[in-house]
Amino acid sequence: MRAAMRRPGDDLVRLAAAQAPTAIFVASVDGSYEYVNDLWCALSRLEPHEALGKGWKVAVHPDDLERVVAVFAPGGSDAGEAVHTLRFRLPDGAVRSIESRVSRLRGDDGQVLGWVGTCRESPPEADGQTAIVHGERFRLVFDHAPIGTCLVDPDGNILQVNAAFCRLVGYPAGELLTLNVADLSLPGDAPLALDGSDQSRGECRYRRADGTIVWVAASTSVVPGQDGQPLYHVIQAEDIGDRKQAERELRQLADHDALTGLLNRRGFMDGLHRELRRMDRRGEYGALLLLDLDNFKLVNDTAGHMAGDQVLRTTAEVLRRRLRATDVIGRLGGDEFAALVLNVTPRQAREIADETAEALRALTVTAGDRTINVAASIGIVAIDEMRTENEDDLLAAADRAMYRAKSTRRHG
């Protein structure tokens, strides 16, 4: 092409193109770039050697590339000049809307020698594809926003991200641009709906690049096109891990005993109610155990409350070891503990109670020259699929059984 187009004054023309106040490119017949000026490079953020040949294609947004290549096809611009819009995707992931004018270059004999074109950044009001301002001011605000922000298409494919979003999820920008926003959501968590509603908010979990999980508060806003249909969605996401941890700690304080870590009375009664409803639905059975420590007041009075606290912690540990993670265990208050043991027969429940009492009998407290043996009285109430009692009735029945056991020094 260069030899065919060479004529006197070419050097002056090239100088004029280099210093022209607009972005210019020259391409051969097949669309291979032969020349780009500095302003074209500034728009695309490619170096001249990166753009020459078919290298310019890397600057074009993948969704626009087929349409842009078609301009250079035979018959692609029969009118002599083609005006079209496209998007440049910059190396940092930013998207820039471009208006391009392309004209055929013809020799004196009318033969097509190639193409010459100009590019400029589209003003936002000129094109429905540029409803979001991709000018320098927007990019500065977007890139430096303290909240993670990303731009996605209506299908959720990520088009642009800022540094805060990259830090939030631990991925580099280039890798995020190959993902769908749903790829970040943890399975089982519903991602924010991209259904055309103006705004939606919610909390979900993202899996970071290193596999760790981060809780985020996310919101999405719709940017409509000229036809009123969603063109983009802007998603903003903020790390709320500290808040979630505080909520967990508050729930722990509300439902758990601070000394033993077991459920407190409130937590245990909630768990008992929930499990009894589940047992009703499934026709399951089990047993409710109520445990009261013997000689506990003597421990507090003679060895002190620190020794009494240690006895309570040890009792809780014995119950954890003897029972299963699926059983419901709690400290109801003072030296009284309760456990709902699932899917055990009355005989098995008595064996569990005997083993627990035996383990506690091995626990002794020394106060001066005196040794105090710690023991427990355990009341047992069997729960079968035909039961009619509610949780309060069952607990009252277990309490009566515990006092019978205490009076006879055995479990019943």
Structure tokens at 393: 């009735």
Tell me the CA distances in angstroms from 205 to 163, 222, 238, 241, one per residue in order: 19, 22, 11, 10
Give yes or no for a contact between 398 and 288, defined as CB atoms under 8 angstroms apart: yes
Confirm whether pTM is higher than 0.85.
Answer: no
Closest residue by Cα to residue 383 from 374, 372, 375, 391? 391
Q: What is the mean pLDDT of residues 17-42?
A: 88
Q: Which CATH class is domain 256-408?
A: alpha beta
**Rounded to whole angstroms, how far apart are CA atoms 6 and 26?**
13
According to CATH, the topology of domain 2-128 is Beta-Lactamase (3.30.450)
Q: pLDDT tens for residues 240-272?
A: 888 888 888 788 778 899 899 999 999 999 999
**Rounded to whole angstroms, how far apart are CA atoms 277 and 398?**
19
Q: pLDDT tens for residues 293-315?
A: 988 888 888 888 888 888 899 89
Q: pLDDT tens for residues 79-104?
A: 456 777 889 988 888 888 888 888 88
Bridge partners, residue 100, by sequence: 84, 119
Q: What is the mean pLDDT of residues 347-362?
A: 89
Tell me the CA distances in angstroms from 2 to 35, 282, 283, 286, one per residue in order: 10, 84, 87, 90
Do 256-408 and 2-128 fall under one CATH topology?
no
Q: What is the dihedral of CA 80, 85, 90, 94, to 10 degrees?
A: 170
131 pLDDT more than 50: no
pLDDT of the residue at 339 = 95
Judged by average pLDDT, the poorest of 11-20, 252-261, 314-323, 345-354 is: 11-20
50 pLDDT more than 50: yes
Delimit the domains of the chain by residue range: 2-128, 145-240, 256-408
Give me the CATH code for the 145-240 domain, please.
Answer: 3.30.450.20
pLDDT of the residue at 49 = 92
Q: What is the mean pLDDT of residues 66-91?
A: 76
